Structure 1
Amino acid sequence: MADPVDWNNGGWDWLEGAPPAESGPAGDPAPSFARCFAGPDGARVLATLKAMTLERTLGPDASDAALRDLEGQRRLVALILALTNRGQGV
């Protein structure tokens, strides 16, 4: 079994590089994301996440903290969408 991802030391690097050689739990997570969000319930969850983050805007009086928080949420939803699409072969 491969070592778990070290989230404190380049833990996101596995998303950018070549897919791991082994399959299964420590392999590419994209197929798992695709299965998780397949079907009408998955589509509804993704639509809700997009509406709450990617399609949301903040007004000119938004604080720096609020902007950073929303941007972090958007990044996470974008990552979920990318993994789901990759797992579906899109």
Structure 2
Amino acid sequence: MADPADWNNGGWAWLEGMTPTEAVPAGDPAPSFARCFAGPDGARVLATLRAMTLDRTLGPDASDAALRDLEGQRRLVALILALTARGQGA
């Protein structure tokens, strides 16, 4: 399995440019994410994560720290959703 520390080297290029019909590279976490979030419980977890982050807005009085924190959460949830979709062949 690929070292997670290597996933950040050079950005997220390893997520881009792959089609679902391509062979899954060794160490690709996408199939694991797809299996983890398959079924009704997985769908419920993803829906909850989406509601808590991507579908959430902060008011105009939100601090810089609160905005940065929410953006970090959104990025992580977006990555989880992308890996899950790619692992499902979507």
Query: Do Structure 1 and Structure 2 share a fold, with TM-score over 0.5?
Result: yes
| 1:11-90 alignment runs, 5 A limit | 12-16=12-16, 22-23=25-26, 26=27, 28-90=28-90
Q: How many residues were matched structurally?
A: 86
Q: Distance in 1 between matches of 2:85 and 2:17?
A: 17
Bigger relative contact order, structure 1 or 2 (CA pairs below 8 A, ≥6 apart): 2
Alignment gaps of 5+ in structure 1: none
Structure 2 contact 32–87 (Cα < 8 Å) conserved: yes
Identity of aligned residues (%): 81
User: Taking structure 1 as reference, are residues 22 and 80 closer, same or farther at Cα in structure 2, changes over 3 Å only?
Assistant: closer
Q: TM-score, normalised by structure 2?
A: 0.78
Aligned-residue CA RMSD in angstroms? Answer: 2.4
Q: TM-score, normalised by structure 1?
A: 0.78
Give the aligned residue type for 2:72. Answer: G
Structure 2 contact 58–67 (Cα < 8 Å) conserved: yes
Alignment gaps of 5+ in structure 2: none
* Offset at residue 7 of structure 1 (A): 6.1
